[in-house]
């Protein structure tokens, strides 16, 4: 047989384009338009409807960037329309959509005159059924049209002014398209879906398979049978020609896909939070409208924050969502407040993501999510399995690791083992997207790509337009239904994530194991971009620790005279959790988002400082004595951990002397030598006598790198940045200052065009040298690093993560290790050889790199630790990080892991001195410093019980006692949601008339424990 396959395929493409698609709507008439332009920020529907609407011309340009236009659509349906057995009347509303996907351009939502939502419109979802208007055969409703600019600009990563309202301009972005009453031919639409499914499948099948040719000939027969001049009249015949090939059942061994509706809506990204709220309303209104049409449609929706926005701003829509949740169609998933970053939030913040998210879903819907759902976060902390399990969940889903540049994960379904040994059932959808359209291409890719064939038979497919929202469409549902049991295709079943996990867990029991972090081999710049946002996050996390601790202490110690501000603390926690979303904290959003974040962090700081001040006043009373509030889990200046007392007397002043045009700082604990350029020539500790700085090198070395990643500017640091570097070895001025018993060397230098002032501080009695770097950052596409070459043969580095630390090799034996050329650490990083180590802490820096080299001079090893201080990407915020910054780093020689942990808290919990009449005993005492108290608060249920969360910090088996220093009659171990649970290694001793309740602890490495003490 002659091969005319390509001829028929080209014929089909044109037949669809020129005959089928135009015939879906058989006839249409334009609607009468009037409009009102919102002067500035969006307004509520009722406020908008109070304004005068002026006549609006069809086809007119509209929409300054970030502007809103309200359109009123009026008209009457012509007699006889929609009365046929396969016809219906719809409104088609094109407000200027481009061919780009939804979510990255203009969007609209339709409102009835009574202020209730109908549904949204978007580029691939432009219809509004007449029956939803509730007005018979007349049309009278409104569209709230949002002129969101195309910040992405085709993903060219060019600098754009659109991310900031002050630079976005006022030029209209869009032009109104067809806005009309139209008659839908249901048979033609169904034929369109038939062709889409079967033709898509054909293109995915090998040419050697008979099935591919069978489909091609069926499509050919369909075109031969139909009249191109009467598509509507012959559409039924066309469907009949395809019926047999569409009815062929799938292979018995076909892969099974559970398809769950989804709309991954970034809580902020290339749009501000205020627009995310409207995106949620648009998407969710589409979803509930689809559910009304298809009772089998299931939609998985994460992020309690987005539900909370609906409850606050769109209560009528939230009520409809609540009903669909009850029906099992609108399914809350994930159990987190937002889909957060997992690299940078502290342990307590990660715990609160689940505490706030799961409690919201339980309170509002009576639903407990059993899966963690993070399809798009930029790598996954090795501490996450324990946190997820401690929150009462059992499964984990992500997709982002499919973006790895170098190495491919070996499994799609596996057990993920965390730093403490907790294992979590984990799934990567092999479809490699959370925005599937359920196209034949997506389904075939999922089946071919699945790496666990022969052991597992099922995977998950989240479908629906995401990132900027939109969600599933009726076309996607049609594709899913047609692929339910179709030869050559995987079997598709619409269902929930829980149904998938339950089935997969039962089927696939002998799971492979992945131990440790799931490092994303991409987006490494997110540890550094937008340093002010990261500083605000770090400061907020520690202020929240202080506020909860002192408010709880005051509530207990004053016998109820001080009221614990639970509601205000919850509000502030939720605001911090919102800003840990995976495009806010990582610094990958437009300028508007980060400007909002900085304002919010300032308000958070003010609110928490007020709470701390009120608690301190209630706790200490009125007086003139000076007390140190020590919120750290370690004693400080003679004040016990978590306690309040007068600080110890000042130690002997630091000795500071000039030497070789530099300075020597010596406090009897450590000795630092700074050369004439303010570089660290020597650092020794008297306990070991070891020199920390490698021979022939200098520490405190600032380096300016070219930073021009191939794409994803704010996200990525590419390895070749190392090849272009300028060491900033010359100082403009170096001077010595005294500050009480401390000594400070002040260094002025320039990084490119950016003035830099460093204050190198040694305090009396301190184990570490502190370096504060103040920069007026004015660079473009540059990376500023601060390096310390250490005389340590370290084969691995230890980096703090949530409730523990992770080790990473310093060598690059494999491609997996080489890919980790930039790593994330929280408050500290530590490198060591047996018997000696160095800890480096920071106040708000997350990006680090650790390399090593062998010295020719003596054969010794130089291990260099560098911190990434600042970047200057041009997309999506061309002014990212421009301005004033202050970053503090400490270096502590002769330090083990325990000292690194202590140094991290010391750097981030600044001593708080207050005046009062008397001190206050800590609420809890621990007799083993390896057991670190992370949080002290009152119980979520308002009972007044005291909750303490602690963890084993050294990565070893640790034994100790936790004692309550207040009348506590009983105690129990709980999960993160403060529900009674079993905790291995925890033995409670109840309080009695002479003793307070206590807990004997024998904890495994990094074990996390939450205890609740009843007062």
Q: Is 376 a catalytic residue?
A: yes
Dist CA 697 CA 679 (whole Å) = 9
Catalytic pick from 164, 194, 376, 718? 376
Q: Residue 432, exposed/middle/buried by CB under 10 A (0-12, 13-18, 19+)?
A: middle
The token duo for 256 is: 């099974």
Task: Assess contact for 932 and 963: CB atoms under 8 A.
Answer: no
The 8-class DSSP code of residue 983 comes to -
Task: Assess contact for 322 and 365: CB atoms under 8 A.
Answer: yes
The token duo for 816 is: 């997996």
Q: Residue 710, exposed/middle/buried by CB under 10 A (0-12, 13-18, 19+)?
A: exposed
Q: H-type helices in 733-884, by residue range?
A: 815-818
Dist CA 449 CA 28 (whole Å) = 44
Listed residue (977, 794, 825) closest to 357, CA to CA: 977
- Three-state DSSP class for residue 142: strand
Listed residue (625, 681, 670) closest to 762, CA to CA: 670
Dist CA 419 CA 1003 (whole Å) = 13
Task: Assess contact for 186 and 84: CB atoms under 8 A.
Answer: no
Task: Assess contact for 251 and 487: CB atoms under 8 A.
Answer: yes
Q: Where are the beta strands (DSSP E) in 420-488?
A: 423-427, 458-463
The token duo for 608 is: 């928490």
Task: Assess contact for 421 and 1004: CB atoms under 8 A.
Answer: yes
Phi, psi of 959 (to 5 degrees): -120, 135
Handedness of CA 483, 485, 486, 488 (dihedral sign): positive
Task: Assess contact for 1003 and 985: CB atoms under 8 A.
Answer: yes
- Three-state DSSP class for residue 657: strand
Task: Assess contact for 715 and 378: CB atoms under 8 A.
Answer: yes
Task: Assess contact for 93 and 128: CB atoms under 8 A.
Answer: yes
Listed residue (300, 308, 302) closest to 360, CA to CA: 308
Q: Where are the beta strands (DSSP E) in 3-115?
A: 25-30, 32-37, 54-55, 61-62, 67-76, 87-93, 107-111
The token duo for 551 is: 């408010």
Instruction: Verify cis geometry, omega within 30 degrees of 0, for the bond prior to 876.
Output: yes
- Spatial neighbors of 799 by CB under 8 A, at least 6 apart, are 805, 806, 808, 823, 824, 825, 826, 828, 829, 830, 848
Task: Assess contact for 173 and 101: CB atoms under 8 A.
Answer: no
The token duo for 263 is: 């709309």
Handedness of CA 16, 20, 25, 29 (dihedral sign): positive
Dist CA 827 CA 892 (whole Å) = 13
- Spatial neighbors of 371 by CB under 8 A, at least 6 apart, are 333, 334, 335, 393, 394, 395, 396, 397, 497, 498, 501
| Residues with active-site annotation | 376
């Amino acid at each position: 047989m002659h091969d005319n396959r390509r001829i028929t395929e080209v014929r089909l493409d044109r037949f669809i384009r020129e005959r089928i698609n135009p015939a879906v709507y058989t006839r249409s008439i334009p609607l009468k338009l009037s409009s009102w332009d919102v002067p500035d920020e969006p307004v509520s529907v009722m406020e908008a409807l109070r304004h005068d609407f002026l006549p609006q011309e069809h086809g007119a340009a509209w929409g300054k960037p970030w502007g809103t236009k309200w359109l009123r659509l009026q008209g009457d349906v012509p007699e006889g329309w929609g009365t046929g057995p396969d016809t219906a009347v719809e409104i088609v509303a094109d407000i200027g959509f481009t061919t780009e996907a939804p979510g990255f351009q203009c969007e609209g939502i339709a409102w009835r005159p009574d202020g209730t939502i109908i549904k949204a419109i978007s580029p691939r979802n432009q219809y509004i059924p007449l029956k939803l208007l509730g007005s018979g055969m007349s049309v009278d409703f409104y569209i709230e049209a949002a002129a969101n600019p195309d910040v992405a600009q085709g993903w060219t990563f060019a600098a754009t002014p659109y991310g900031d309202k002050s630079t976005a301009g006022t030029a209209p972005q869009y032009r109104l398209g067809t806005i009309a009453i139209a008659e839908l031919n249901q048979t033609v639409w169904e034929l369109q879906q038939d062709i889409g499914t079967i033709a898509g499948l054909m293109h995915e099948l090998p040419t050697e398979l008979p099935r591919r040719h069978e489909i091609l000939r069926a499509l050919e027969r369909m075109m031969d049978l139909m009249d191109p001049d009467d598509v509507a009249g012959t559409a039924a015949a066309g469907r009949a020609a395809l019926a047999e090939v569409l009815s062929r059942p799938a292979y018995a061994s076909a892969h099974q896909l559970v398809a769950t509706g989804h709309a991954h809506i970034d809580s902020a990204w290339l749009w501000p939070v205020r627009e995310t709220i409207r995106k949620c309303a648009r998407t969710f209104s589409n979803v509930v409208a689809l559910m009304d049409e298809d009772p089998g449609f299931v939609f998985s929706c994460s992020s309690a924050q987005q539900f909370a926005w609906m409850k606050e701003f769109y209560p009528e829509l939230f009520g409809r969502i609540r009903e669909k949740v009850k029906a099992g169609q609108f399914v809350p998933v994930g159990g987190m407040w937002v889909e957060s970053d997992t690299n940078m939030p502290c342990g307590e913040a990660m715990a609160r993501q689940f505490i706030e998210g799961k409690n919201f879903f339980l309170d509002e819907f009576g639903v407990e999510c059993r899966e963690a759902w993070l399809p798009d976060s930029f790598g996954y902390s090795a501490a996450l399995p324990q946190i997820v399990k401690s929150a009462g969940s059992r499964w984990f889903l992500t997709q982002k690791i499919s973006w790895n540049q170098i190495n491919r994960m070996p499994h799609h379904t596996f057990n993920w083992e965390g730093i403490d040994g907790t294992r979590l059932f984990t799934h990567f959808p092999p479809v490699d997207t959370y925005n599937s359209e359920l196209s034949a291409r997506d389904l075939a890719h999922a089946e071919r790509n699945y790496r666990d064939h022969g052991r597992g038979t099922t995977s998950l497919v989240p479908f629906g337009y995401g990132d900027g929202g939109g969600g599933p469409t009726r076309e996607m549902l049609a594709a899913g239904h047609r692929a339910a049991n179709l030869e050559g295709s995987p079997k598709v079943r619409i269902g929930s994530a829980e149904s998938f996990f339950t089935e997969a867990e039962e089927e696939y029991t002998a799971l492979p194991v992945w131990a440790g972090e799931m490092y994303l081999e991409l987006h490494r710049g997110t540890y550094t971009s937008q340093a002010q946002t990261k500083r605000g996050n770090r400061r907020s996390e520690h202020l929240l620790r202080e506020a909860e601790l002192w408010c709880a202490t005051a509530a207990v110690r004053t016998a109820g005279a001080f009221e614990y501000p639970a509601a205000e603390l919850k509000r502030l926690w939720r605001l911090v959790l919102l800003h840990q979303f995976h495009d806010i904290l990582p610094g990958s959003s437009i300028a508007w988002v980060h400007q909002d974040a900085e304002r919010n962090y300032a308000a958070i700081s003010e609110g928490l400082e007020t709470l701390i001040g009120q608690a301190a006043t209630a706790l200490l009373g009125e007086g003139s004595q000076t007390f140190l509030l020590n919120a750290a889990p370690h004693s400080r200046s003679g004040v016990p951990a978590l306690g309040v007392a007068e600080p110890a007397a000042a130690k002997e002043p630091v000795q500071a002397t000039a030497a070789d045009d530099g300075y020597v700082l010596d406090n009897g604990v450590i000795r630092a030598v700074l050369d004439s350029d303010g570089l660290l020539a020597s650092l020794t500790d008297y306990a070991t006598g070891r020199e920390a700085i490698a021979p022939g090198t200098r520490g405190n070395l600032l380096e300016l790198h070219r930073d021009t990643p191939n794409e994803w500017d704010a996200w990525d640091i590419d390895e070749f940045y190392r090849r272009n570097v300028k060491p900033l070895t010359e100082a403009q001025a170096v001077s010595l200052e005294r500050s009480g018993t401390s000594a400070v060397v002040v260094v002025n230098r320039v990084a490119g065009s950016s003035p830099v002032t460093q204050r190198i501080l040694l305090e009396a009695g301190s184990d570490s040298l502190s370096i504060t770097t103040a920069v007026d950052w004015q660079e473009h596409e540059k990376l500023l690093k601060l390096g310390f070459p250490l005389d340590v043969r370290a084969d691995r580095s230890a980096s703090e993560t949530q409730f523990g630390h992770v080790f990473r090799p310093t060598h690059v034996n494999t491609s997996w290790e080489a890919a980790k050329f930039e790593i994330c650490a929280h408050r500290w990083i530590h490198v060591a050889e047996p018997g000696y180590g160095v800890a480096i802490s920071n106040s708000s820096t997350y990006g680090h790199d650790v390399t090593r080299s062998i010295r020719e001079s003596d054969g010794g090893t130089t291990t260099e630790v560098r911190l990434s201080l600042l970047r200057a990407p041009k997309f999506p915020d061309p002014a990212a990080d421009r301005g004033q910054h202050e970053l503090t780093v400490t270096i502590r020689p002769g330090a083990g892991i325990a000292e690194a942990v202590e140094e991290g808290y010391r750097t981030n919990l600044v001593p708080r001195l207050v005046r009062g009449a008397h001190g206050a005993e800590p609420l809890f005492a621990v007799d083993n410093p390896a057991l670190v108290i992370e949080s002290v608060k009152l119980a979520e249920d308002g009972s007044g019980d005291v909750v303490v969360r602690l963890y084993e910090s050294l990565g070893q088996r640790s034994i100790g006692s936790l004692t309550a220093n207040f009348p506590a009659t009983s105690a129990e171990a709980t999960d993160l949601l403060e529900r009674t649970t079993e905790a291995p290694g925890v033995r409670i001793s109840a309080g009695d008339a002479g003793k307070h309740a206590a807990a004997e602890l024998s904890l495994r490495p990094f074990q996390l424990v939450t205890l609740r003490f009843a007062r």
